[in-house]
Structure formats: C-alpha cells, structure tokens
Structure 1
C-alpha cells in the first residue's frame, strides 16, 4: 500500500466514523433525545452526554490510522510483512468491536455478571496480547457507543490498555531476561 493510498484510506475511515456518529446521534435525537450516561451506573454521579462521541470517535479513528501508518512504514519494503501487520490490525479492531458489542448488549439486557466477566477476561487477555494498540481501543469504543456512549468505555479501556502496556513493556522483558539468564 502506497503512502497516497494510505492517506486516502485514512480520510475514508475518519469520514465513515464521523458519518456513523452523526447518524447515530441524529437517530437518538429523533427517538427521544440524546442520551446521557452516569458514571458507574449511579444517578448520584454526573451524567456524560453521547455528544462526546462526535469528538472522541473521529479522534480515535485519526489516531489509529496514524499509528498503523507509522507501524507499516517502519517496516522494510516487504509486502508479506506489511500484509501481516494489516491483518493483525483488522483482527485487533474487529475482535475488540465484537467484544464490546457483546459486553454492552449483555449489560443492557440485565446480564451485568457477563459484562463483568468479559471485562476481567479482557484484563487477562491484555497481559498476553497487545490490546493497548490504538486500533483495539478504537474498536472497543466504536462497538460500545450504541449502549453506553463513548466516554465511559474509553475510560475503561484506557485502564485495561494501561495494564496491557505495562505488562508488555515492563514485565514481559523482565520475564524473558530471567529465562535467558538461567543456566541450561
């Protein structure tokens, strides 16, 4: 994929994201008004409007495409390596999208325990897989906008992504160093 093609793709992803969010907010407006969600699902806490999705999701789309472009351009001109990176990006995005849809849907229909188990499972998976990448965060927030808006899932995934990042950047190298240092 050339730089020109990637810029075109970046604009398409951002434009589709903006159109999706505007369409979703318009649908909400025409069906009873733009919803607001309370932190921790308690009405005592302040509510956060779904309008924030209009700012957050296009920013996450832009950030994801910039990070992916950087990751691809840092590789040598080897088409299979770049294809593998793009395949991993798609798996990360759609995996987190589906997970957040299932988690949000289960929470909305009253199965809070399933949503909590999925969140805890995501923390465990984050120890082994790099879910701190921008496309994973974008997929997670994009999938949960239907049920909980953009801010609350963003806060949650940033905490989980921080744990994943710490695991991959700090703990994983230490473990490999200890394993290599042991005599055979």
Structure 2
C-alpha cells in the first residue's frame, strides 16, 4: 500500500464516519429530536447528548487509521506480513462492531442480562486478545452509536481496553518471564 493510497483510505474512512453520524443525527432530529442518554441508565444522573458522536467517532476513525498505518509501516516491506496486519485490524474492527450491535440491541429490547454477560465475556476475551487497539475501540463505539450514543460505550470500552492493555503489556510478559526462568 502506497503512502497516497493509505492517505486516501484514511480520509475515506473519516468521511464515511462523519456522513454516517451526521445522517444518524439528522434522522434523530427529524423523528423527535436528538436523544440524550443518562449515565448508568438512571434519570437522576446527568444525560449525555448524541451530538458528541460528531466529535468522538471521527476522532476514533482518524486514530485507528493512523495506528494501523503506523503498524504497517513499521514492518519490513514484506507483503504477507502487512496483509496479516490489515486482516487482523479488519477482524478486530468488525468483531467489535458486531459484538457492540448485539449488545446494544439486546439492551434496547429489554435483555439487559445478555448485555451484561457480553460485557463480562469481553473482559475475559480482552485478557487474551488485544482489544485495546484503536480499531477495536472504534468498532465498538461505532456499533453502539445508534442505540446508546457514543460517550457511554466509549467509557465502557476504555475501561475494558485498559484491562486488556494491562494484561498484554504488564502481566503477560511477567508470566512468560517466570515460565522461562522456571524451565531454564
């Protein structure tokens, strides 16, 4: 992938994200007004407007394309390695997108326990898979914008991504070091 094609792809992803969020907000505006969601789903807590999606999602799109581009350019000019990185990024984005859609839909139709179990499962999966990557966070927030806005899912996925990062960057190397020392 050349520099100009990756730049074009980055701008296309950001533009598509902006168009999707703007279309969603326009639809909300024409159907009763822009929604606001309460923290912890309690009306006593402050509400957060869906307008924040116009800032958050394009930023996450930019950040994820930037991080993927950096991972690809840090590799040698080996096409299979670069293709593997891009496949992993797409898998992470679409996997989190589908999970977020299922979780948000189940919460919206009254199956809160399914949404909670999916969140707990995501924490467990995050111990073994790097869901702290920007494309995973972007996919999760992008999938939930229609049902719950952008801020609340962003807060939740940042907490889970922090656990995943801690597991992969701090705990996993320590475990491997202990295992390596033990079997030396």
After TM superposition, the score normalised by the length of structure 1 is 0.99
Residue in 2 that maps onto 1:64: 64
Q: Secondary structure at the match of 1:48?
A: strand
Per the alignment, residue 109 of structure 2 pairs with 109
The Cα of 1:18 is off from its aligned counterpart by 0.2
- State the partner residue of 2:4: 4
Q: Are 2:167 and 1:167 equivalent residues in the alignment? A: yes
Distance 1:21 1:109 in 2: 22
Q: Secondary structure at the match of 1:152?
A: helix
Q: Secondary structure at the match of 1:128?
A: coil
Which residue number corresponds to residue 89 of structure 2? 89
2: CA distance between counterparts of 1:58 and 1:138?
9
- TM-score computed with the length of structure 2 as normaliser: 0.99
1:38-53 equivalence runs, <5 A: 38-53=38-53
Partner of 1:34: 34
Tell me how far 1:92 sits from its aligned partner. Answer: 0.1
1:183 CA drift (Å) = 3.1
CA–CA separation in structure 2 for the residues paired with 1:104 and 1:146: 9
Deviations 1:16-59 (A, max 9, x none): 00000000000000000000000000000000000000000000
CA deviation after TM superposition for structure 1 residue 111, in Å: 0.3
Aligned structure 1 segments of 4 or more residues deviating by more than 2 angstroms: none
The number of aligned residues is 184
Structure 1 residues 76-113: Cα deviation after superposition (integer angstroms, max 9, x where no partner): 00000000000000000000000000000000000000
3-state SS of 2:127 partner: helix
Shift of 1:137: 0.1
Ranges in structure 2 where 5+ consecutive residues have no aligned partner: none
Q: Secondary structure at the match of 1:37?
A: strand
